[in-house]
């Protein structure tokens, strides 16, 4: 971390000096041996203090309110039961659950065994589920009863897993096991070497530019590093809100962050812009990731009286940043992270002059940042290039993807983020764009090539190009541009049929919002689709396109 540290030490800038001191303090603390060692230490320290509350949970949901000691005990019992069911060290286990306590309990239980969790989006279709289970080499699956249809479709087509290796939260079909039973029995764990910091604990699948998602190999060190940085950044916060799905990385580090703070995690059932502020007020939330769309709700007289102290924002429009702080009486800061690297950049709380600037900040503890040109040469202040990150506790690599690893990693431990940045004279970083052909919708990474592959599965489609359309609430929406085969009229493949085809094969958030029929797509000299020309054709990329939401609204009326 010497390169990043050299830019902040030895300066009279008070913000840079404060950040250097913060980095030194966070990096100096020794690590415990693993996540389970961390869980046990927290249980010993905080005992019967409430660790989490899963709010608005359906009646009968298990473990909705749990203490630190109860979590440690529950994870020991589930780990022992999973071991008896045949889960071994190093094996991969799919977890396809909504925001219920069984998710983090299963994750931490697998961590005790030295096994590896594959979090699975509950909206995945049979096709997507088949890929993730197959690519990750899963030997077992924990699944919610409501998510069984694609599982059963997959099993009917091919024996992806033995039915006895599938644990169902709810009523299990014949031959499968009930997750509830994992809580019963002896909590004594199996003999063997406990996991260490460099052992894998997650295969966290994230979308890339090559179609299907790639499995990020994340270790115990990764999660303990990320949670330590997040807790240090949070200061005196004690109540943390997790309003994103647990199968994404955010609630996972939110949980470990809350434990490191000796605080309480409040878990919402799913994202909701309309209920978000009610959760903040009712639960006394002091930290959250604040969605920009919530700021569109009318101001209330008591907004500044909430318990909010610190919030994280991502891509917040400059004119809204100061307004958020004023309205809620809290500190709001931008940062930059990825599944691959955890926390990469952060804006110090002391940097009040940067509010509204759009900066993602300075390198986080344990991280060095460098901006490079296409040839890998480091660029200076004001120049735009790709952000490279390195430091302990980033991903070990992409699972079973040697080509992606060769493309993403460079000598010296540098990881290419695929994002374009510039850096100012003080060392603050600003995101400029994406090298990757990826669409980001409401925090979801959507690979354009995966959606294009599904569209090309339509027999009447000759060519397909998928691009992002700017959206003030969701960041981007997905737009599909189709060229039909010669002689085929649009009436032969109406928008309804295209949308239905995509909905049957893609998770809901990947289904195109907009559809444009075209006679041709612009091409480069090498005859590749020139998406930059598609994007530049018109100021409003919605123009001339069918809006799926408006189409179905008209049909319903």
Going by C-alpha positions, the residue among 239, 276, 281 that lies closest to residue 257 is: 239
* The two domains 2-30+290-434 and 438-556 share their CATH topology (first three levels equal): no
Q: Is the alpha carbon torsion for 353, 356, 359, 363 positive or negative?
A: positive
Please state, in angstroms and rounded to a whole number, the distance separating the CA atoms of residues 12 and 24: 17
Sequential DSSP letters for 320-384? HHHHHHHHHTSEEEEEEEETTTEEEEE--TT-GGGTTS---BEEPTT-EEEEE-TTSPBP-TT--
Query: Judging by beta carbons within 10 Å of its beta carbon (0-12, 13-18, 19+), is residue 237 exposed, middle or buried?
Result: buried
β-strands 461-471, 475-484: how paired?
antiparallel
215's CB contacts (< 8 A; 6+ apart) are 118, 132, 135, 136, 203, 204, 205, 398, 399, 400, 401
Q: What are phi and psi of 220, to 5 degrees?
A: -60, -40
Q: What is the CB-side half-sphere exposure of residue 20 using CA atoms within 13 A?
A: 18
Tokens of 59: 């009646």
At residue 509, the 3 state secondary structure works out as: helix
Quote the pTM value: 0.87
At residue 28, the 3 state secondary structure works out as: helix
Tokens of 88: 């071994």
Tens-digit pLDDT string for the chain (557 aa): 554 455 555 689 999 999 999 999 999 999 999 999 999 999 999 999 999 999 999 999 999 999 999 999 999 999 999 999 999 999 999 999 999 999 999 999 999 999 999 999 999 999 999 999 999 999 999 999 999 999 999 999 999 999 999 999 999 999 999 999 999 988 776 677 899 999 999 999 986 544 678 999 999 999 999 999 999 999 999 999 999 999 999 999 999 999 999 999 999 999 999 999 999 999 999 999 999 889 989 999 999 999 999 999 998 888 899 999 999 999 999 999 999 999 999 999 999 999 999 999 999 999 999 999 989 999 999 998 999 999 999 999 999 999 999 999 999 999 999 998 999 999 999 998 777 688 888 888 788 888 998 999 999 999 999 999 999 889 999 999 999 999 999 999 999 999 999 999 999 999 999 999 999 999 876 678 889 899 999 999 999 999 999 998 877 65
Which CATH topology does 35-47+62-220 take? Rossmann fold (3.40.50)
Please state, in angstroms and rounded to a whole number, the distance separating the CA atoms of residues 554 and 440: 27
At residue 216, the 3 state secondary structure works out as: strand
Which CATH topology does 438-556 take? GMP Synthetase; Chain A, domain 3 (3.30.300)
Most distant CA pair in the chain, distance: 72
- In this structure, are residues 141 and 134 in contact, taking their beta carbons and an 8 Å threshold? no
Sequential DSSP letters for 253-311? HHHHHHHHHT-EEEE-SS--TTTHHHHHHHHT--EEE--GGGGGSPP-TTGGGS---EE
416: left (phi over 0), alpha (psi -120 to 50) or beta: beta
* Torsion angle of C-alpha atoms 269, 272, 275, 280, degrees rounded to 10: 70
Query: Which of 3.40.50.12780, 3.40.50.1820, 3.40.718.10, 2.30.42.10 is the CATH number of 2-30+290-434?
Result: 3.40.50.12780
Please state, in angstroms and rounded to a whole number, the distance separating the CA atoms of residues 33 and 281: 37
How far apart, in Å, are the Cα atoms of 457 and each of 248, 452, 463, 478, 506?
A: 28, 9, 10, 18, 12
Specify the pLDDT at position 15.
97
Bridge partners, residue 332, by sequence: 311
Please state, in angstroms and rounded to a whole number, the distance separating the CA atoms of residues 249 and 105: 15
Domain boundaries, the chain: 2-30+290-434, 35-47+62-220, 438-556
Please state, in angstroms and rounded to a whole number, the distance separating the CA atoms of residues 77 and 351: 46
Going by C-alpha positions, the residue among 143, 99, 128 that lies closest to residue 246 is: 99
């Amino acid at each position: 971390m010497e390169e990043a540290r050299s830019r902040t030490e030895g300066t009279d800038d008070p913000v840079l000096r404060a950040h250097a001191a913060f980095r030194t303090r966070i990096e100096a603390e020794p690590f415990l041996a693993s996540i389970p060692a961390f869980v046990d230490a927290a249980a010993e320290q905080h005992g019967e203090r409430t660790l989490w509350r899963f709010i608005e949970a359906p009646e009968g949901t298990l473990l909705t309110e749990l203490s630190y000691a109860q979590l440690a005990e529950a994870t020991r019992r589930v780990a022992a039961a999973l071991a008896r069911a045949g889960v071994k060290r190093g094996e991969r286990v799919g977890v396809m659950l909504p925001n219920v306590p069984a998710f983090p309990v299963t994750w931490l239980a697998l961590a005790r065994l030295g096994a590896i969790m594959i979090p699975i989006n509950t909206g995945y279709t049979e096709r997507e589920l088949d890929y993730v289970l197959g690519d990750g080499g899963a030997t077992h699956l924990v699944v919610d009863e409501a998510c069984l249809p694609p599982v059963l479709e997959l099993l009917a087509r091919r024996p992806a897993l033995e039915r006895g290796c599938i644990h169902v939260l709810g009523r299990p079909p014949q031959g499968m096991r009930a997750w509830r039973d994992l809580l019963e029995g002896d909590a004594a764990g199996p003999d063997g070497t406990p996991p260490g910091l460099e052992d894998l604990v997650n295969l966290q699948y994230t979308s890339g530019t090559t179609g299907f998602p790639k499995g990020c190999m994340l270790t115990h060190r990764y999660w303990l590093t990320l949670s330590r940085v997040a807790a240090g950044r949070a200061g005196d916060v004690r109540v943390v809100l997790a309003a994103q799905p647990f199968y994404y990385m955010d609630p996972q580090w939110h949980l470990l962050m809350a434990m490191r703070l000796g605080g309480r995690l409040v878990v919402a059932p799913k994202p909701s812009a309309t209920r978000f502020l009610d959760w903040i007020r009712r639960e006394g939330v002091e930290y959250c990731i604040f969605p920009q769309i919530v700021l569109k709700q009318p101001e209330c007289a008591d907004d500044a009286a909430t318990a909010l102290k610190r919030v994280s924002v991502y891509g917040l429009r400059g004119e809204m940043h100061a307004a958020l702080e004023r309205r809620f009486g809290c500190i709001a800061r931008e940062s930059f992270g990825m599944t691959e690297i955890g926390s990469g950049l952060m804006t110090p709380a002391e940097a009040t002059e940067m509010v509204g600037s759009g900066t993602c900040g300075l390198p986080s503890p344990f991280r060095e940042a460098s901006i490079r040109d296409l040839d890998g040469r480091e660029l200076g202040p004001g120049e735009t290039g790709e952000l490279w990150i390195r430091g302990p506790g980033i991903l070990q690599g992409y699972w079973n993807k040697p080509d992606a690893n060769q493309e993403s990693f460079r000598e010296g431990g540098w990881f290419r983020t695929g994002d374009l940045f510039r850096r100012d004279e003080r060392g603050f970083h600003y995101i400029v764009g994406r090298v990757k052909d990826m669409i980001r919708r409401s925090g979801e990474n959507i690979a354009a090539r995966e959606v294009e592959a599904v569209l090309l599965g339509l027999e009447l489609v000759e060519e397909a190009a998928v691009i992002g359309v700017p959206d003030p609430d969701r960041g981007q929406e997905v737009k599909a541009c189709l060229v039909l085969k010669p002689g085929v009229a649009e009436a032969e493949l109406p928008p309804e049929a295209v949308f239905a085809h995509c909905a049957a094969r893609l998770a809901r958030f990947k289904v195109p919002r907009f559809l444009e029929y075209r006679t041709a797509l612009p091409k480069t000299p090498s005859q590749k689709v020139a998406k930059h020309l598609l994007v530049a054709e018109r100021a409003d990329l919605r123009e001339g396109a069918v809006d799926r939401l408006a189409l179905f609204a008209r049909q319903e009326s």
